[in-house]
């Protein structure tokens, strides 16, 4: 009876080892869990069952503890030199390799590359709006360390990295601190994310809505999707027409993607008449800017960003409702006597312009129309 119980205990232990997921600790502190498919002198191939892909990890990226354990478990010699194997050669002939299961076709490990343009622009424009909100509130925009966690149930959690211990991750997700148990996580990846920085003054705001912001957002989007920053620049340039990418899991042709949206300029339309975005801020005055609502500031900055960075846009006009398209509320009246007529004729150009502006519609500033910018 004792021997029988002992045998059952050994059998349960063996079953738990067989069905347990493998876990590899990486040098950057993150880890990968899944089923190991192959261990060679170059590294480890592990299958992420939730994503349905096989990830190749070299020994240089695996921690010493995991390296020692795996090489001992799969009988990989420390000083063994990797053997060059021809494509038609049997891989089992290499004594330094242990093949657990035949590697699937390459097509099976690729992601759906056709929707890359949509995935890219959705992430890009969301970060543009988030960044502009920070700038309109008077804060800089910075890149910070974040984590993307792929959960065992199939969804992802992305947030600002706060701390980590043996049992959990602490992330800031949408303004809330979340503590996530590592037992629920299938894999983790370090990324760069956009965060609010220090306060900035009015004169510095316009410098933030330009090339620097664009490059920061490209870096964050590249990390979020899992492509190189060089590839991110290429997708940004080719999104409207479609293109080809060869970058890790993304290999092949991606479809064009266009999504029309618009920004209402409203009473601030006069800032965008006959000028480029980089010149708009020169018209703004600190005293006037302080009276503009937060939403109006966001729309002004978004309009500037569209003109400077997005490839396709157009103005859409509508008649000003306040003056009914006349451009003024009241015309200056002059008496018919000769003295008033002479006084009118003696006015300088500046005085005439000031008088015209004083009688202009307060909404459209004499333009007769209000505008919005439609972008793709």
- pLDDT tens column, 233-259: 999 999 999 999 988 889 889 999 998
| DSSP output for 209-232 | SSHHHHHHHHHHHHHHHT--HHHH
Quote the number of domains for the chain: 3
Average pLDDT over residues 344-351: 62
Same domain, 234 and 279: no
Specify whether 247 is located in the same domain as 293.
no
- The HSE-up count of residue 374 (CA atoms within 13 Å, CB side) is 7
pLDDT band at 341 (very low <50, low <70, confident <90, very high): low
Q: Tell me what pLDDT residue 160 has.
A: 92
Q: Which H or E run contains 49? A: none
* pLDDT mean across residues, the chain: 77
Name 36's bridge partners: 46
Give the DSSP letter string of 136-149.
HTTEEEEEEEEEEE
Pairing state between β 243-247 and 250-254: antiparallel
Q: Do residues 118 and 194 share a domain?
A: yes
Q: Which of 224, 254, 284 is the last residue of a domain?
A: 254
Question: Which CATH number covers residue 236?
Answer: 2.30.30.100
- On whether the CB atoms of residues 242 and 118 are closer than 8 A, the answer is no
Q: What is the CA radius of gyration of the chain?
A: 31
Q: 66 versus 336: which is more confidently predicted?
A: 66
Contact 373, 263 (CB under 8 A): yes
**277 pLDDT exceeds 70?**
no
369: containing domain? 261-334+349-375
- Residue 142 sits in the same domain as residue 160: yes
Report the percentage of the chain scoring pLDDT > 70: 69
89 or 286: which leads in pLDDT: 286
Point out the domain boundary residue: 223, 254, 285. Answer: 254
For residue 191 the two structure tokens come to 């990324």
Residues 59 and 134 in one domain: no
Inside any domain, residue 339? no
The closest of 121, 136, 125, 122 to 300, measured between CA atoms, is: 136
Is residue 1 domain-resident? no
Q: What is the pLDDT of residue 60?
A: 81
Read off the DSSP letter of residue 11.
Answer: H
Worst-scoring range by mean pLDDT, 47-56, 178-187, 318-327?
47-56
The separation between the first and the last C-alpha atoms of the chain, rounded to the nearest angstrom, is: 76
User: Is 148:314 a contact under the CB 8 Å cutoff?
Assistant: no
- From 233, 212, 149, 223, select the one nearest 186 (Cα to Cα): 149
Quick check: is 369 in a domain?
Answer: yes
Q: Which residues, 6 or more positions from 285, have their beta carbon under 8 angstroms from its beta carbon?
A: none
Lowest mean pLDDT among 54-68, 121-135, 209-223, 300-314: 54-68
Tell me, yes or no, whether 37 and 125 share the same domain.
Answer: no
User: Is 96 exposed, middle or buried (CB count within 10 Å of its CB: 0-12, 13-18, 19+)?
Assistant: middle
> Is 245 found in the same domain as 215?
yes
Q: How many CB atoms lie within 10 A of CB 329?
A: 13
Q: Please, which residues have CB within 8 angstroms of residue 276's CB and are 6 or more apart in sequence? A: 307, 308
Written as six digits, the tokens of 112 are: 């759906």
Residue 86 within any structural domain of the chain: no
Same domain flag for 29 and 63: yes
Residue 5 lies in a domain: no
Question: Based on the domain organization, do 103 and 210 belong to the same domain?
Answer: no
pLDDT of residue 372: 94
Residues 289 and 231 in one domain: no
**Among 239, 254, 269, which residue terminates a domain?**
254
The full DSSP string for 254-283 is E------EEEE-GGGGGGGTTS-HHHHGGG
Same domain membership, residue 206 and residue 167: yes
Strand, coil or helix: 124: helix
**Per-residue pLDDT at 40 exceeds 60:** yes
Q: Could you give the percent of the chain with pLDDT greater than 90?
A: 31
What average pLDDT does the segment 325-330 reach?
Answer: 81
| 361 and 241 within one domain | no
User: How far is residue 1's CA from residue 306's CA, in Å, rounded to a whole number?
Assistant: 79
The helix or strand, by DSSP H or E, that contains position 151, with its residue range, turns out to be strand 139-151
């Amino acid at each position: 009876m004792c021997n029988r119980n002992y045998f059952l205990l050994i059998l349960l232990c063996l079953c738990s080892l067989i069905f347990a997921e493998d876990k590899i600790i990486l040098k950057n502190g993150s880890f990968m869990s899944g089923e190991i498919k192959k261990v060679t002198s170059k590294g480890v191939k592990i299958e992420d069952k939730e994503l349905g892909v096989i990830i190749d990890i070299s020994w240089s990226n695996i921690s010493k503890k995991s390296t020692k354990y795996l090489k001992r478990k799969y009988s990989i010699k420390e000083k063994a030199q990797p053997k060059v194997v021809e494509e038609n050669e049997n891989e089992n002939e290499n004594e330094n390799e242990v093949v657990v299961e035949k590697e699937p076709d390459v097509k099976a490990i690729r992601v759906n590359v056709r929707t890359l343009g949509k995935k890219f622009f959705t992430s890009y424009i969301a970060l543009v709006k988030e960044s502009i909100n920070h700038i309109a509130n008077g804060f800089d925009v910075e890149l910070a360390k974040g984590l993307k966690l792929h959960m065992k149930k199939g969804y992802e959690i992305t947030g600002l990295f706060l701390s980590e211990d043996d049992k959990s991750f602490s992330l800031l997700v949408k303004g809330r601190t979340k503590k996530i148990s590592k037992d629920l996580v299938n894999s983790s990846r370090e990324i760069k994310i956009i965060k609010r920085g220090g306060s900035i003054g009015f004169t510095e705001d316009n410098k933030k809505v330009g090339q620097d912001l664009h490059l920061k957002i490209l870096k964050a989007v590249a990390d979020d999707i899992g492509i190189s920053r060089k590839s991110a620049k290429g997708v940004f340039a080719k999104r409207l027409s479609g293109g080809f990418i060869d970058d890790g899991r993304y290999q092949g042709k991606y479809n064009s993607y266009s999504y029309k949206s618009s920004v209402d300029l409203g009473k601030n339309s006069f800032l965008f008449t006959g000028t480029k975005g980089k010149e708009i801020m020169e018209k703004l005055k600190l005293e006037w800017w302080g009276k503009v609502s937060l939403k109006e500031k966001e729309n002004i900055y978004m309009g500037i960003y569209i003109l400077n960075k997005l490839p396709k846009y157009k103005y859409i006009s509508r008649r000003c409702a306040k003056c009914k398209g006349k451009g003024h509320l009241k015309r200056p009246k002059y008496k018919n006597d000769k003295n008033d007529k002479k006084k009118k004729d003696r006015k300088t150009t500046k005085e005439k312009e000031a008088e015209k502006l004083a009688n202009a519609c307060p909404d459209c500033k004499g333009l007769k129309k209000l505008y919005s910018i439609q972008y793709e």
